[in-house]
């Protein structure tokens, strides 16, 4: 896809107007270069969102677009005030704001919903947690396994959750938390947020309840931000400069 000079100039103008409205002044000679980098990054990001939406057969939902737009307007007070602020700050009409801000946001949200519920998209992470559980049941320590996962997925994969009661646990965790032997490792536990394996370090019981000391390894589901980062890392960008005449 092509980003035209006109696209870049319009985005540059909107950013410049916004800075002036916020009272920001740039005295560094590098300011125009930084501005250009921000503009290009913004335009490439929007293009990638559109490309990913087409690749995953995701289409913008006009109802969600209008709902989000109405929420934004409501936060500003009323539509007239919002339209005035848009014009003064960015030089945009409401329709331009929908197209340039709201629609990409809605597409991102819809892409995320599709990804987290797509079995194929989650397969790599499901395999990773399966391997992690196998290593744990083979005697490797929780910290060693979690360290490797943290390096792969750039998340804090392990956490000592302390002593928790059943009411404080996700439904999928309640049975293993109170049925496993001390030191036991659960099966793979799935939730809308991701995949987990828990280990029970201890239990205490008082007159009211039993609490389990839980350590967990968790891998979040692959979502839009992961897909976007992958696409951006693989993107190749060329800049062509022409001359009239």
- CA 110, 116, 118, 123 torsion-angle sign: positive
Q: State how beta strands 158-164 and 194-205 pair.
A: unpaired
What is the predicted pLDDT for the residue at 20?
Answer: 76
Percent above pLDDT 90 for the chain: 60
Separation between Cα atoms, residue 115 and residue 107, nearest integer Å:
12
Beta pairing partners, 54: none
Residue 132 has pLDDT above 70, yes or no: yes
What is the predicted pLDDT for the residue at 130?
Answer: 95
**Cβ neighbours, 10 Å, residue 216:** 18
Mean pLDDT (whole number) for 183-191? 94
pLDDT category of residue 17 using cuts at 50, 70 and 90: confident
Separation between Cα atoms, residue 189 and residue 133, nearest integer Å:
11
| Residues 198/216, Cβ–Cβ less than 8 Å | yes
| Residues 194/125, Cβ–Cβ less than 8 Å | yes
| Residues 125/222, Cβ–Cβ less than 8 Å | yes
User: Which range, 26-30, 77-81, 187-191, 231-235, is most confident?
Assistant: 187-191
Cα–Cα nearest to 69, from 47, 86, 56, 48: 86
Percent above pLDDT 70 for the chain: 89
The interaxial angle of helices 5-21 and 79-89, nearest 10 deg, is 110
**Unique residue bearing structure tokens 């394996």:** 197
Surface-to-core class of residue 203, CB atoms within 10 Å of its CB (0-12 exposed, 13-18 middle, 19+ buried):
middle
pTM above 0.85, yes or no: no
Separation between Cα atoms, residue 101 and residue 92, nearest integer Å:
11
Q: How confident is the model over 91-105, as pLDDT tens digits?
A: 999 999 999 999 999
**Unique residue bearing structure tokens 């290009």:** 40
Separation between Cα atoms, residue 160 and residue 174, nearest integer Å:
16
Cα–Cα nearest to 173, from 192, 198, 148, 155: 198
**Unique residue bearing structure tokens 């990804």:** 115
Separation between Cα atoms, residue 79 and residue 77, nearest integer Å:
7
Residue 113 has pLDDT above 70, yes or no: yes
Residue 1 has pLDDT above 80, yes or no: no
What is the predicted pLDDT for the residue at 238?
Answer: 72
Separation between Cα atoms, residue 47 and residue 65, nearest integer Å:
18
Cα–Cα nearest to 199, from 209, 210, 213: 213
């Amino acid at each position: 896809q092509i980003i035209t000079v006109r696209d870049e100039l319009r985005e540059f103008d909107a950013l410049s107007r916004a800075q002036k409205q916020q009272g920001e002044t740039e005295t560094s000679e590098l300011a125009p270069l930084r501005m250009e980098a921000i503009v290009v990054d913004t335009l490439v990001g929007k293009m990638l969102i559109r490309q990913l939406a087409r690749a995953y057969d995701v289409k913008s939902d006009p109802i969600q677009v209008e709902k989000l737009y109405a929420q934004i307007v409501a936060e500003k007070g009323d539509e007239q005030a919002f339209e005035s602020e848009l014009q003064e700050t960015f030089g945009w009409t409401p329709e331009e704001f929908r197209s340039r801000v709201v629609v990409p946001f809605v597409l991102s949200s819809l892409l995320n919903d599709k990804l987290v519920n797509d079995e194929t998209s989650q397969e790599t992470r499901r395999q990773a947690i399966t391997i992690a559980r196998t290593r744990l049941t083979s005697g490797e320590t929780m910290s060693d396994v979690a360290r490797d996962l943290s390096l792969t997925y750039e998340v804090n994969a392990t956490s000592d959750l302390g002593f928790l009661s059943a009411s404080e646990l996700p439904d999928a965790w309640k049975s293993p938390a109170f049925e496993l032997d001390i030191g036991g490792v659960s099966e793979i536990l799935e939730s809308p947020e991701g995949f987990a394996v828990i280990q029970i370090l201890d239990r205490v019981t008082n007159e009211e309840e039993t609490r389990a000391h839980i350590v967990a390894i968790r891998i979040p589901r692959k979502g839009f931000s992961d897909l976007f980062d992958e696409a951006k890392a693989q993107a190749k960008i060329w800049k062509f400069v022409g001359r009239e005449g």
